[in-house]
C-alpha cells in the first residue's frame, strides 16, 4: 500500500503500473479509490460542520434556560438531538467509506522500479550474472532423495504416516549437514556485520496483512484455530513486524539483521517431479537477512543483500546465477526482486534457492513504521529482505555439486568445522 495522495494525483501512473504487472483486473480499483476517497472527505466535512453547529446550539441552551426561555431551550435540545442522529449516520458512512478505501488500497500493487523488465511470469525473468563454472560430471547424478537414502539420511514414508505429504525426517549425516549449513550461515552473516535474531514463529493478523498481500496470505499462511495467530512463512514476517507502530531514530539506521526460523507454508497447487522430495515442502528452516533503512539507501542495500547469498554459496562450491524478476513475477508489495539460482548438474539447469526483495515503503506504510530525522520530520522507512540459505533446497544443490563418482560427498573447507572436521561423507548403503 502506498500514499493515497499519490493515487489521487497520479491515477494514470498507478494504472500503467498495474498494466505492467498484467493486473488488468485491478484497474477499476483506482477509480473506486478516488471516488470513495472524495466521498469520504465530503462526508467528514459535513459531519464536522454539523458537530460545530451542535456545539454552538448546546452553548445556547444553558443561557436560554437562565433567561427563562424554556420552550426555546427545549427546541434547541431537540435540534441538537436531531443533529446527533445525523452525525451518527454520517460517522457510520465514514467508517464504511474508510474501510472501502483501505481494502482497495491494500490490493493496489507497489510501484515497480523503472529498471524492472516487463514480462508476464517467471519464464520472462532476465539473467544478470553467473558465478562459478556449471559442471556436468561424467557419472550419473541420482535424484536428491536417492542420494540421501544412500546415507540412510531421509525417511519420507514415516513422515507421510505422521504428517502427510510435504514433510520429511532427516537422519544422521544428512541431518547434521542440514544443521551445519544453518550454523555456518548464521556465522557468515554475523561476520558481515549483521545482528543475529531469533524471532517469534507466530504473528497476529495485523502483522500478516502488513507484510504481504491478501493473495499471498491465502496461498501461504497457516492459521492457528481459535486464535488471532498465524505460523510464519518466513522470519521476514515477524522481523518486520517487530517495528510495527514504531517511530525509529534516524541515527540508529540502518538495522542490519539476520534471523533464523522454521518456516511453514501451505504451498497450494500441484507440482511436478522436480518439486518433490524436499524441494517444495510445508516445513523448513531458513537463515534470512532483513534491512530497515532510509529510502535513499535501499537500492545500495538491495545489491549487497543478494551478493551475500552469492558469496555464501560460492564458499560451498555451488555455482549460482542471479536472475532479475520481471514485472509479472513480482508480488504486490515488491518494487524490485532478484532470485539467486543454484546449478543442478542432474537437471543440467539452475533452480531457485533464494530471493532478494526491495519493498521500498510498502510494508512500512501498512505497519506504520516511521523514522524521525534530526529536525523532527517523520517519514516511512524502506524495508528489504533476502534469503541467505534454506537448507532443504540448499541440500539438493550441495549434494549434487559435491557428489563424487564413488558416492561420497565432499565437504568444502568452510563447512568442515561445523561437521566435526569431516572432509568427506561416506554412504552407508
Q: How many domains does the chain have?
A: 2
Q: Which residues of the chain have pLDDT under 70?
A: 1, 268-276
Confidence (pLDDT) at 270: 46
In a shared domain, residues 300 and 385: yes
Confidence (pLDDT) at 63: 75
Helix (H, G, I), strand (E, B) or coil at 378: strand
In a shared domain, residues 311 and 392: yes
Instruction: Classify residue 113: in a domain, yes or no.
Output: no
Q: Are 83 and 48 in contact (CB under 8 A)?
A: no
Helix (H, G, I), strand (E, B) or coil at 228: coil
Between CA 251 and CA 372 the distance in angstroms is: 9
In a shared domain, residues 196 and 339: yes
In a shared domain, residues 173 and 62: no
Residues 6 or more apart in contact with residue 396 via CB below 8 angstroms: 144, 277, 278, 279, 342, 344, 351
* Residue 230: strand pairing partners: 203, 223
Written as nine digits, the cell of 118 is 516487463
In a shared domain, residues 130 and 11: no
Secondary structure (DSSP) of 233-301: SSHHHHHHHTTTT-EEEGGGPPEEEEEEEEEE----S---GGGTTTTS-SEEEEEEEEEEE-GGGHHHH
Instruction: Classify residue 117: in a domain, yes or no.
Output: no
Confidence (pLDDT) at 284: 93
Q: Are 230 and 224 in contact (CB under 8 A)?
A: yes
The verdict on whether omega for the bond into residue 345 sits within 30 degrees of 0, i.e. cis, is no
Written as nine digits, the cell of 217 is 496470505
Between CA 339 and CA 331 the distance in angstroms is: 13
| Helical (H) or strand (E) element with 109 | none
In a shared domain, residues 303 and 380: yes
Confidence (pLDDT) at 123: 95
Confidence (pLDDT) at 67: 74
What phi and psi values does residue 370 have, to the nearest 5 degrees?
Answer: -115, 160
Domain closes at, from 107, 141, 175: 107
In a shared domain, residues 141 and 276: yes
In a shared domain, residues 331 and 375: yes
Q: Are 141 and 346 in contact (CB under 8 A)?
A: yes
pTM: 0.90
Residue with cell 499462511: 221
- Residue span of the structural domain in which 41 resides: 4-107
Q: Are 312 and 185 in contact (CB under 8 A)?
A: yes
In a shared domain, residues 202 and 278: yes
Distances (CA, A) of 306 to 6, 59, 288, 289, 429: 30, 65, 11, 9, 38
Confidence (pLDDT) at 3: 83
What are the tens digits of pLDDT across the range 252-293?
999 999 999 999 999 765 455 455 678 888 999 999 999 999
Instruction: Classify residue 224: in a domain, yes or no.
Output: yes
Residue with cell 465530503: 42
For the domain that residue 397 is a member of, what is the CATH number? 3.30.930.10
Q: Report the chain's terminal Cα–Cα distance, integer Å.
A: 54
Written as nine digits, the cell of 337 is 526482486
Instruction: Classify residue 112: in a domain, yes or no.
Output: no
Domain closes at, from 107, 138, 164: 107
Q: Are 319 and 125 in contact (CB under 8 A)?
A: no
Secondary structure (DSSP) of 281-294: -SEEEEEEEEEEE-
Written as nine digits, the cell of 253 is 539506521
In a shared domain, residues 127 and 102: no
Confidence (pLDDT) at 275: 56
Q: Are 319 and 133 in contact (CB under 8 A)?
A: yes
In a shared domain, residues 308 and 388: yes
Q: Which residue, among 335, 323, 298, has the nearest Cα to 21 in the 3D structure?
A: 335
Between CA 409 and CA 416 the distance in angstroms is: 12
Residues 6 or more apart in contact with residue 1 via CB below 8 angstroms: 105, 106, 108, 362, 365, 366
Amino acid at each position: 500500500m502506498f500514499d493515497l495522495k499519490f493515487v489521487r494525483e497520479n491515477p494514470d501512473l498507478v494504472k500503467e503500473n498495474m498494466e505492467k504487472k498484467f493486473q488488468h483486473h485491478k484497474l477499476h480499483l483506482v477509480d473506486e479509490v478516488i471516488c470513495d476517497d472524495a466521498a469520504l472527505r465530503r462526508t467528514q466535512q459535513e459531519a464536522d460542520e454539523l458537530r460545530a453547529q451542535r456545539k454552538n446550539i448546546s452553548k445556547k441552551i444553558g443561557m436560554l434556560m437562565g433567561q427563562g426561555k424554556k420552550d426555546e431551550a427545549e427546541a434547541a435540545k431537540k435540534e441538537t438531538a436531531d443533529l446527533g442522529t445525523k452525525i451518527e449516520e454520517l460517522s457510520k458512512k465514514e467508517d464504511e467509506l474508510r474501510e472501502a478505501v483501505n481494502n482497495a488500497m491494500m490490493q493496489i500493487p507497489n510501484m515497480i522500479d523503472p529498471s524492472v523488465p516487463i514480462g508476464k511470469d517467471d519464464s520472462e525473468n532476465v539473467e544478470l550474472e553467473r558465478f562459478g563454472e556449471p559442471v556436468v560430471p561424467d557419472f550419473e547424478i541420482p535424484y536428491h532423495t536417492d542420494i540421501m537414502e544412500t546415507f540412510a539420511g531421509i525417511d519420507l514414508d514415516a513422515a507421510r504416516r505422521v504428517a502427510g505429504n510435504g514433510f520429511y525426517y532427516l537422519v544422521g549425516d544428512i541431518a547434521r549437514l542440514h544443521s551445519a549449513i544453518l550454523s555456518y550461515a548464521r556465522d557468515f552473516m554475523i561476520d558481515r556485520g549483521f545482528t543475529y535474531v531469533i524471532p517469534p514463529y507466530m504473528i497476529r493478523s495485523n502483522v500478516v496483512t502488513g507484510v504481504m498481500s491478501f493473495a499471498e496470505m491465502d496461498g501461504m499462511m497457516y492459521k492457528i484455530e481459535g486464535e488471532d495467530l498465524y505460523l510464519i512463512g518466513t522470519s521476514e514476517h515477524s522481523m518486520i513486524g517487530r517495528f510495527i507502530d514504531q517511530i525509529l531514530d534516524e541515527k540508529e539506521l540502518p538495522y542490519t539483521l539476520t534471523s533464523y526460523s522454521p518456516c511453514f507454508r501451505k504451498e497450494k497447487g500441484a507440482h511436478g517431479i522436480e518439486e518433490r522430495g524436499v524441494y517444495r515442502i510445508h516445513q523448513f528452516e531458513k537463515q534470512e537477512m532483513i534491512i530497515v533503512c532510509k529510502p535513499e539507501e535501499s537500492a545500495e542495500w538491495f545489491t549487497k543483500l543478494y551478493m551475500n547469498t552469492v558469496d555464501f554459496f560460492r564458499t560451498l562450491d555451488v555455482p549460482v546465477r542471479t536472475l532479475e524478476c520481471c514485472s509479472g513475477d513480482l508480488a504486490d508489495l515488491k518494487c524490485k526482486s532478484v532470485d539467486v539460482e543454484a546449478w543442478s548438474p542432474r537437471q543440467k539447469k539452475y533452480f531457485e534457492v533464494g530471493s532478494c526483495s526491495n519493498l521500498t515503503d510498502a510494508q512500512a506504510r501498512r505497519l506504520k513504521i516511521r523514522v524521525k530525522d534530526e529536525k523532527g520530520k517523520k517519514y516511512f522507512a524502506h524495508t528489504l529482505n533476502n534469503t541467505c540459505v534454506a537448507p532443504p533446497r540448499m541440500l539438493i544443490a550441495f549434494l549434487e555439486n559435491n557428489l563424487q563418482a564413488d558416492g561420497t560427498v565432499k565437504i568444502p573447507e568452510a563447512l568442515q568445522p561445523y561437521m566435526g572436521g569431516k572432509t568427506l561423507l561416506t554412504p552407508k548403503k
